[in-house]
Amino acid sequence: MGPSTLVIEALHSLTKNVGRTALSILGIVIGIASVIAMMAVGTGTERAVEKEISRWGDDWIVVWYEGRQRGGVRRRGAMMPNVVEKDVEAIREQCPAVRAASLAHYCGDRQVVSSYGNYNTNIRGVEPSCFDIRRWEIMRGREMTDQDLGQRRKVCWLGMTVVEKLFGTIDPIGKTVRIDRHPFEVCGVLRPKGSSGQGDDADDLILMPLTTAQTLIIGNFPPSVFYAAAKPTASVQEAKEQIQKLLRERHHVGQDEEEPYGMWDRSQLAESNSNITGTFKTLLTFIGSISLLVGGVGIMNIMLVSVTERTREIGVRMAIGAKSRHILTQFLCESVVLCAIGGVFGFGLGYLLAEMTTYSFMEDLTGGLTVECELSYTMVAVAIGVSTGVGIFFGFYPAFRASRLDPIDALRYE
């Protein structure tokens, strides 16, 4: 018999007992649906994390001074105000893998007052290049300039959370806010970023020129950190190595001494998130595979029952010339068709479950990160391949058992 005839014959045999066939298919449907749903949600979560990291920028490094270690104790007092500034200048000139470097200062939380309200938020003093490094885009207003920095202008840029708290629906551009009783003109509003990926509100901040922050907010203290961004043609790791080497040379750090600077880059967060989502995806797929295994065992059980019920039919087929391989192929084809039907329905149900899972509670699990279930041709191939494989694997033994029946004993079977 040809393939089409085998399929038609298999469908005819399966429709003889619709209830049992439906229950057998249900096990495969649940198994395939579980695997597809888990893969779709897992892949969607990975893509969402990658998109979020890309939106924040994955090419920048933050560096902070930890002090020199003397007698087992780190001493920060050894750093003079101009040390960090000269380090940044040296990095710009001598590190070919670095495209930009910028000083910054975290001024802590301060009470900010406008004519419409007051709010406690984070203040940061930065240089103009820091906007590019940290991907702070200006949604409304103008950009920070070198003149703002050089003239210590009382200007600031607000995150969207601060805008909502201080101004509500009123346009803040050109308005005045008071920080530590000093008036600042609002020159721009930052484009919303949402969660930072670490649970913080990335829009809850105010940026101002670094020199202004040093003069009016924190006093003339040296910057607490500086940022550096790798060139598109270089890796973050390459930029880090060049910065580390330069800083060790400039600060005369010996081979056995610890680094005076601490470093962090978003690739570490990306790697951590990748490991977490990878583990999450593997775990979910494993759980779905258990459901599929149970469905496969159900298929084997039903096929064994079918072989027993159709023993006399097998004997008749053999008596009129059917070979053992024909019987084997026939029952194996029935098993595959049964699983293939389950795979088709399981794929559709899996997609529906993935959509429901994503829009129900995935945003809560990911800290507000927007996750969309993602299906691919690979998953379609997985659904078809796995269901076919289950049909062959769990259907082979019943089919083999049917093919090994003795024709005489089969004809006598009642």
Residue 404 structure tokens: 């090994």
Residue from 108, 123, 129, 93 nearest 226 by CA: 129
Query: What is the mean predicted confidence (pLDDT) over 311-336?
Result: 76
> Cα separation of 63 and 84, whole Å?
10
Percent over 90 (pLDDT), the chain? 23
pLDDT at 196: 59
Look at 42 and 367; give whichever has higher pLDDT. 42
- Supply the mean pLDDT for the chain: 78
pLDDT tens per residue, range 297-308: 877 877 777 777
Query: What is the mean predicted confidence (pLDDT) over 216-236?
Result: 84
> Cα separation of 213 and 172, whole Å?
20
CB proximity list for 203: less than 8 A, separation 6 or greater: 159, 160, 161, 162, 190, 192, 193, 194
Alpha helix segments (H runs only) across 263-376? 266-309, 311-319, 324-357, 363-365
Half-sphere exposure (CA, 13 Å, Cβ side) for 131? 23
pLDDT at 79: 45
Ramachandran category for residue 321: left, alpha or beta (phi over 0 → left; psi -120 to 50 → alpha): left
Q: Which residue has the tokens 């159709």?
A: 310
Instruction: Label the pairing between strands 182-190 and 98-113.
Output: unpaired
Look at 335 and 361; give whichever has higher pLDDT. 335
Look at 201 and 413; give whichever has higher pLDDT. 201
> Cα separation of 199 and 201, whole Å?
7
pLDDT at 304: 77
Ramachandran category for residue 193: left, alpha or beta (phi over 0 → left; psi -120 to 50 → alpha): alpha
Angle at 148 between CA 147 and CA 150, to 5 degrees: 60
Half-sphere exposure (CA, 13 Å, Cβ side) for 8? 5
Query: What is the mean predicted confidence (pLDDT) over 41-70?
Result: 69
Percent over 70 (pLDDT), the chain? 75
Residue from 391, 402, 414, 376 nearest 39 by CA: 376
Q: What residues are paired with 74 via a beta bridge? A: 69
pLDDT at 273: 62
* Residues making up the chain, counted from first to last: 414
> Cα separation of 266 and 89, whole Å?
23
Residue 13 structure tokens: 């045999």
> Cα separation of 96 and 252, whole Å?
21
Query: What is the mean predicted confidence (pLDDT) over 250-269?
Result: 75
pLDDT at 305: 76
C-alpha of 388 from chain center: 31
Three-state SS at 239:
helix
Instruction: Inform me whether the pLDDT recorded for 355 exceeds 70.
Output: yes
Query: What is the mean predicted confidence (pLDDT) over 344-359?
Result: 75
Q: Which residue has the tokens 């509100």?
A: 201
pLDDT tens per residue, range 21-53: 787 788 788 878 877 777 777 777 766 666 666
Instruction: Inform me whether the pLDDT recorded for 237 exceeds 70.
Output: yes
Residue from 258, 256, 297 nearest 391 by CA: 297
pLDDT at 130: 92
